[in-house]
Chains A and B, each alone.
Chain A
């Protein structure tokens, strides 16, 4: 025992040590050494973010320099605080606070004292900077907007947060990333790839030299410039028309699926979210929960589509051969569901498909809708067929466009009604509102525009997209270059297009004709309700309009949705007409129409529900 004592201790100690070493060096070892090593500092070289141009090569977004005043607390010498503060344009308490914060962070490392000086402030400061030891100016790059419109579609960039870093380890604290819109969608393209230089540091964080003679360093890869499908002129014009109104406008080039304009009202100047006032402005926009300027109505609003939806029901009825264009249905200034009468504004009388569309007859479409269902032995089967046709137009689901936000809209199916009314406890009379685009159906403005494009193309559409070229290379993504065919045969479109053209010639939008351009369109007036103090209250109708032009070989398909704009031909119809003229002719000939749209706002209408008083809806004042 006594002879073995030391030997066994030696062996036990050896085993313990090797055990501990294998725990440290084999089990705890992380292969991600270079990035976690406190002795190695990665210094990043950020490439310039790519510019964004519109479809005609007009600059939309570029970069501008900004100047941060930095401080290294240890090196600060006594200074004339008052003069320095007035140069920086900050209060003295603010200066003292920031300096204290910087010292807490690290006395040896630079911290930002005042972020993002303007060029003018920088010029004033620059020559006097030498006087203040421990302070210096660091240049960085911010976004510069060559337009004051398109805030929601362009999006903005902001510093990454913890969850971004967790999701994508490429990002490090303090770096910028696209947060919404195009900036977010094409982040990888615009951003480029940062270069990295590894530097060996000592424990005081002083640089000793390059790590491994720089063998692991990489060069930055430039961000790519992109051209988007937006037409800057049209976008700016549309936003001007949208002034004082809430709603969304989407215009698509039917032949390509390119999004010509994507307008959401109210909007804001994208430059608000850049620079020193950024967080103040952001809070103001973000917390405006009444007009919601950051909420992209063109992509996210999903009201009932209203009468434009009738065109799809007509197409389905033709495809299912339950009706012919000449088939007539009588309108009794309304129609009956059971023994309950629903109204119609078309004037009554015999309606066929043509007049049903251009007079927007509710009774005609209720009858047509019923015929689709009556073809099948059960409502379930009818519903399935109807849903299949609807979905082929991109309704009721995400369209798959290249922007980061969206809504599915809604095409109710039998599961939906089973859920609402109970299994098989509903019939076609329950769903009759869908015939005229009211009731359960819902669609976003971009879905309406896309549906219009499909009608303009007589049977197919290209998935709407915002990207046109990357570094000058046109996109090749088959998702955007291959057409999606609807379930409706080409010849069935002709009667519908004819009806829609008559909307402008003799129908609900005959006052909105554009000389020299033949347009096809459809008005929509959408009843809507809200709850005020818990009571279901009807508000002024939403004004909806879809159109495409020219009728032959269409160049633009557009959907306009104006909240509380009353009947379709009013706000939405006017704006659609003006935008089409602007896009096709490049100028406006009907200046009275234009002036009316620029001057009129709906702010009084929007204030009504918040007034706390009784109010009238759908007033005829114009």
Chain B
């Protein structure tokens, strides 16, 4: 296959948005890390200089990823999976500890974070397994095996400790749902989260009353055509109430104070405004500062390199996990909404691309890509703007970090390569 045909068939629209996000991301890293004395952008002793270097590496990687044979990825997915798992395992022996987490290999010129590579490797392996002609997602055994593929990296990443990255692998269950895993699992999960939150906010009694009301409405709507399933409904009700009661117990007795504080903060459980403010400024310091920075941006922002809170380093980890607060402060609502829109467009475009695949493997991998990107984007921005509790994972294409950037680039461009090749699947 010639390089020309790849360039003709690859989805340029996605590449365009990807380049936009990378560029905007770098400008914000520049703004949050530059200092007045040193203004050269090619200085590799600075963080923005390094990030520029990583962008360069990513571009080279794109070139390599697009030139490889498309079926290479399917064929070698298991190997890639095993290699990255070994790399994760090796961290326990050779890992370098930064900020309390043993997540890196020290390669001298840069630190490699294998969990970033494990993301696309796991997505490939899962796609490979599910697309196998022998696999039937409706079967319990196959469901379990698919789940094992996902859980292995999770188990390897949690002890580093890096719970944020571990969470990301769970995003891959969306692939399973797309491929026919009964949605009842999703509903159960969704109900559990809802009952957990509402119990904390309103208490078991109100949760029970609302459940009864919901069931009543459900029965009223279905009355004409439906035989009332008394047993499942009452079972559901009893389980829900028991779960709600256990939430209270777990929250009061199993959780530690710092966990409780995070929830108090997130769900505004603390009713005393002074205490809440106190928690905001201590436990929720990062989010408090990032919210303040974003708020201070207003509609049009303070302008590039004019963010006072960015300059004053008020938001901790601003160039990594909290990079979006720089966008909010310097580019205002206009800029931050644009970034949200760009991510939404990218993800929707990827859904469109995934759905047009003829090969099951490509589609499943595509869904893996979307799930991982979506979870990163959702949790990261959600945390920075204060709608989700603090979970430290990077914002794809934005946050400072070589492994993450290269990992996300590989994740995306392997799919673009598969997409470019979709018409040749049968050749």
**A interface vs B, CB < 8 Å?**
1-3, 5-7, 9-11, 13-14, 16-18, 20-22, 24-26, 28-29, 31, 33, 37-40, 200-203, 208-209, 211-212
Given A2-B183, A33-B296, output 8 extra A-B contacts at Cβ < 8 Å: A3-B355, A5-B186, A10-B344, A11-B348, A20-B385, A39-B314, A200-B311, A208-B311
How long is the Cα–Cα vector from A10 to B354 in the complex, in angstroms?
15
Interface residues of B in 303-329 (CB under 8 A from A): 306, 308-309, 311-314, 328
Chain A contacts for B337, CB-based, 8 A: 18, 21-22
Tell whether, in the assembled complex, residue A10 and residue B347 are in contact, meaning their CB atoms are under 8 Å apart: yes
| Distance between Cα atoms of A307 and B367 in the complex (Å) | 103
Given A6-B371, A16-B387, A26-B299, the answer on whether A201 and B312 have CB atoms closer than 8 Å is yes
Q: Does B172 contact A (CB under 8 A)?
A: no
Does the CB pair B308–A25 fall under 8 Å? Answer: no
Contacts of B183 in A (CB 8 A): 1-2, 5
Measured in the bound complex, the distance between the Cα atoms of B367 and A7 in whole Å is 11
Q: A21-B333, A212-B306 are in contact. Are A13 and B378 (CB under 8 A)?
A: yes
Given A29-B295, A29-B298, A37-B296, do A10 and B311 touch, yes or no (CB 8 Å)?
A: no
Partner of B295, one of A11, A25, A200, A211: A25
Distance, CA A24 to CA B332, complexed state (A): 10
Nearest CB on B from A236, distance (A): 54
Within the complex, what minimum Cβ distance (angstroms) separates A213 from chain B? 11
Determine the chain B residues whose CB is within 8 A of the CB of A200 once the complex forms.
308, 311-312
Count, A-B residue pairs, CB within 8 A: 118
**Does B159 interact with chain A (Cβ within 8 Å)?**
no
Q: Which of B174, B306, B328, B333 has the most CB of A within 10 A?
A: B333
Measured CB to CB, the nearest residue on chain A to B382 is: A17
Q: In the complex, which residues 336-379 of chain B have their Cβ closer than 8 Å to any Cβ of chain A?
A: 336-337, 340-341, 343-344, 347-348, 351, 355, 367, 370-371, 374, 377-378
Nearest chain-A residue to B182 (Cβ)? Answer: A2
Q: Is the CB of B178 within 8 A of A6?
A: yes
| B355: A residues at CB distance < 8 A | 3
Bound Cα distance from A40 to B336, whole angstroms? 23
Interface contact B374-A9, CB-CB below 8 Å: yes
CA distance A10 to B371 in the complex (A): 10
Residues of A within 8 A of B289 (CB): 203
Task: Judge whether B387 and A25 touch: CB under 8 Å.
Answer: no
Q: Would A39 and B308 be within 8 Å (CB), given that A14-B340, A28-B295 are in contact?
A: yes
Confirm or deny: B266 has a beta carbon within 8 angstroms of a beta carbon on chain A.
no
Q: Whose C-beta in chain B lies nearest to the C-beta of A19?
A: B387
CB of B294 within 8 Å of the partner chain:
yes
* Interface hub of A3, A9, A209, A212 (most chain B Cβ within 10 A): A9
Kindly state the separation between the CA atoms of A397 and B295 in the bound complex, as whole angstroms: 52
Chain A residues lying within 8 Å of B343, measured Cβ to Cβ, are 14
Cβ–Cβ contact B340 & A2, under 8 A: no
* A31 cross-chain contacts in B, Cβ below 8 A: 298
Q: Which residues of the partner chain B approach A202 to less than 8 Å between Cβ atoms?
A: 311-314
> A29 near B299 (CB under 8 angstroms)?
yes
Interfacial chain B residues near A38, Cβ < 8 Å:
292, 309, 312, 314
**Docked-complex contact A20 and B371, CB < 8 angstroms:** no
Enumerate chain A residues within 8 angstroms of B370, measured Cβ to Cβ.
6
The 10 closest A-B pairs by CB, nearest first: A39-B312, A39-B308, A14-B344, A25-B333, A202-B312, A29-B298, A24-B295, A10-B347, A39-B309, A17-B340
The answer to the question of B116 belonging to the interface, with a C-beta cut-off of 8 Å to chain A, is no
Identify which of residues 278-302 in chain B touch chain A, using a CB-to-CB cut-off of 8 Å.
Answer: 289, 291-292, 294-299
Contact B386 A203 (CB under 8 A): no
Chain B residues lying within 8 Å of A9, measured Cβ to Cβ, are 374
Q: Kindly provide the distance from the CB of B10 to the nearest chain A CB, expressed in whole angstroms.
A: 22
What CA separation (Å) do A16 and B386 show in the bound complex? 12
A68 → chain B closest CB, angstroms = 28
Inter-subunit contact A209/B36 (CB<8 Å) = yes
- In this complex, the member of A24, A29, A33, A200 whose beta carbon has the largest number of chain B beta carbons within 10 angstroms is A24
A202–B313 Cα gap in the complex (Å)?
A: 6
User: B174: which of A1, A6, A22 is its contact (CB, 8 Å)?
Assistant: A6
Contacts of B251 in A (CB 8 A): none
What are 9 A-B interface contacts by the 8 Å CB criterion? A2-B177, A14-B341, A17-B340, A17-B387, A20-B387, A21-B336, A25-B297, A25-B298, A26-B298
Q: How far is the CB of A14 from chain B (nearest CB, A)?
A: 4
CB of A35, distance to nearest CB on chain B (Å): 12
B125 at interface, CB cutoff 8 A: no
Q: Is B180 an interface residue (CB 8 A)?
A: yes
> Which residues of A lie under 8 Å from residue B377 when comparing CB positions?
13
Mark out the residues of chain B between 132 and 162 whose CB falls within 8 Å of any chain A CB in the assembled complex. Answer: none
- Closest A-chain residue to B293, C-beta based? A39
- B386 contacts which of A2, A6, A18, A20 (Cβ < 8 Å)? A20
Q: In this assembly, does B195 line the interface, its C-beta being within 8 Å of a C-beta of chain A?
A: no
Contacts of B347 in A (CB 8 A): 6, 10
Structural contact, A5 and B177, CB atoms closer than 8 A: yes
Also in contact, A40 and B385, with CB within 8 A (given A24-B295, A25-B332, A29-B299): no
Q: A9-B374, A13-B374 in contact; A25/B311 too (CB < 8 A)?
A: no
Residues in B whose Cβ lies below 8 Å from that of A22? 333, 337
